[in-house]
Structure 1
Amino acid sequence: MSGLRILHLSDTHFSGDGGRHYGVVDTAEHLRRALAHVGHLLFDLVVVSGDVSEDGTEESYRLVREQLTPWAQARGARLVFAMGNHDRREAFRAVLGGGQPDAGEQELAGIDLDRPVASVATHEGWRVIVLDSSVPGVGFGGLEDEQKQFLRETLVTPAENGTVVVVHHPPVGAQTDLLQALALDEQDGRDLIDIVAGTDVRVILSGHYHLPITEFVAGVPVTVAPGVTNVSCGFGDPAEEAAINGFGGSVVTIDGDRVRVVPFVERLTPDELVFHFDADVVADIIRDAGRPADPAESLAP
């Protein structure tokens, strides 16, 4: 089996007009710094596991693609993108296709722009499956039955070297109350793990939490990349939410029966936070944007 080295990035949050994230962060500069941090390495894959865009515009996706494509090509890497809660399916598809624009992917959704952006591609014996955990119009995540069946049917036949699954909302818990309220549906997370357990899936790559986390679930490593645009404060009061002005990513290496995850986080301004929401503000956000007790409420205008 040949090894696989992945640069795992997430949450680039580009805007089509080049605006600063939260009025503070130059997202293109953060991405440049993240790439420079590991620029001396060669990679097989460069993965952006969702929230590629902040505003869901075609221009934002073009800006990310234009910055990443020459860098990845110079290092022999394929680019892979997944949908996040800030992304918009129609614009994502128009620029990035099924998430694996440089491969002959088999897409779940065909030409229906409103259905999930999910795809599978195999390159040099390694299979990459992109899932779409976004729920249009909300921040929390879910996986429709058709995606679960797509995953289940794809994994029936093992790939030569193994499979990597990319999905924005992780099938593991968050560190803070706000991010837990915006997490993947609990049942969908259990179903995802049940489907991949015992298959050739070597790792699940996720984002959304802006915090480096690696957790083994039913023998499958789930790894969350720190945010490119900012890095969440994971050890403060869980009722509050804050992020540092910094960037991060992870280098994931699969070699034989080993999976190694080496995250990196760099803080740009020692005393500056991108944002800080106290417990009252977080409670308001959860009330307005968190997952409702009755899932039917999420469809209400």
Structure 2
Amino acid sequence: MSAFRILHLSDTHFSGDGGRHYGVVDTAEHLRRALAHVGHLLFDLVVVSGDVSEDGTVESYRRIREQITPWAQARGARVVYAMGNHDDRESFRTVLGGGQPDAGEQELPGIDLDRPVASVTRTDGWRVIVLDSSVPGAGYGDLELEQRQFLREALETPSERGTVVVVHHPPVPAQTDLLQALALDEQDASELVEIVRGTDVRVILSGHYHLPVMEFISGVPVSVAPGVTNISCAFGNPAEEAAIDGFGGSVVTVDDGRVRVVPFIERLTPDDIVFHFDADVVTDIIRDAGRSED
């Protein structure tokens, strides 16, 4: 079986007007640097696993597609996008369809533009399934029953070479209190893993945490990409939240019987913190955007 090479990016946070993220980060420049970092390589797939946009505008999706598509095509790859908590379903679907705009995707059934953005494709024996863990108006993640059933049905018949699942909120715990409050619903995470256990799913690709994490759950590898826009500080006070000015991604190679993940992180300004939230600010964010305890 020939290897399947994926450039895994996440959390690009583009704005329609090109504004700087947190008033600091030039997101287009960060993406340009991330792509240049691995520009000498060929890929089969470029994945942007959610928070593609910061403001959910149609123009933000057009801007990122205009930047990534020609780069990917020059390296033999197609591009896959997933919804994140900052994305807008209607605008996302207007520009990026079901997340796999360069392939004959089969979307989650339905006609409502605000339904979850989920799709499945098969290319050269590889199957790619995109799920939508976003909850409109919230920062945490869920997977509705219809998506879980969509995934089950898609996996009933194995693909010739295997399946890659892309979902923004990882089915693994976070490093900080804030990100844990904005994590995937625990029951949904467990059910996702249970659905893919024993199937041809080779790897789950996620984002959201802005730092590289690799975890195996019941033999299923989950790879979380570092953020393109900034890199979370993983080992500070977990009650606080901070990020450095840098970019990152991962090169994922799926081969016969093995999955290899090589993450990369580059700091742009060593002394620059993009943001730092103390425990009181984190508590306020959790109250406003986190999951209700009711």
Shared fold (TM-score greater than 0.5)? yes
Distance 1:279 1:54 in 2: 24
Could you tell me which amino acid in structure 2 is paired with residue 155 of structure 1? L
- Aligned equivalent of 2:52: 52
| Aligned counterparts of 1:289 and 1:39: Cα–Cα separation in 2 | 37
What's the TM-score, normalizing by structure 2? 0.99
| 2:151 aligned residue | 151
CA deviation string 1:96-128 (max 9, x = no partner): 000000111110044320110000000000000
- Give the drift of 1:267: 0.3
SS of residue paired to 2:14: coil
Residue pairs, 1:83-122, within 5 angstroms = 83-122=83-122
One-letter amino acid of the counterpart of residue 168, structure 1: H
Q: Could you list the runs of 5+ residues in structure 1 that have no partner in the other structure? A: 295-301
1:210 is aligned to 2:220: no
How big is the alpha-carbon RMSD for the aligned residues of Structure 1 and Structure 2? 0.6
- What is the TM-score when the length of structure 1 is the normalising length? 0.97
- 1:273 equivalenced with 2:234 (yes/no): no
Name structure 2 gaps, 5 residues minimum: none
Runs of 4+ that moved beyond 3 A: none
| 1:169 equivalent in structure 2 | 169
Corresponding residue for residue 24 of structure 2:
24
Q: Which letter maps to 1:92?
A: F
Contact 1:14 1:27 (C-alpha < 8 Å) held by counterparts: yes
The corresponding residue for 1:64 is: 64
Superposed CA offset, 1:176-208 (max 9, x none): 000000000000000000000000000000000
**SS of residue in 2 equivalent to 1:36:** helix
Correspondence 1:140 to 2:140: yes
What is the identity, as a one-letter code, of the residue corresponding to 2:148? Answer: K
Which amino acid in the other structure matches residue 7 of structure 2?
A: L
Aligned to 2:81: 81
Aligned equivalents of 1:288, 1:160: Cα separation in 2:
45
**Matched residue type, 2:198:** G
The aligned length equals 294
Q: Counterparts of 1:158 and 1:2 in 2: how far apart (Å)?
A: 17
Query: Which residue of the partner structure matches residue 234 of structure 2?
Result: 234
Mapped partners of 1:53, 1:109: distance in 2: 24
Contact 1:84–1:208 (CA under 8 A) maintained in structure 2: yes
Listed as ranges, the matches of 1:2-17 within 5 Å are: 2-17=2-17
User: Is the Cα–Cα contact under 8 Å of residues 109 and 117 in structure 1 kept in the other structure?
Assistant: no
Provide the secondary structure at the position in 1 that maps to 2:178: helix
For residue 254 of structure 1, give the secondary structure of its aligned residue in structure 2.
Answer: strand
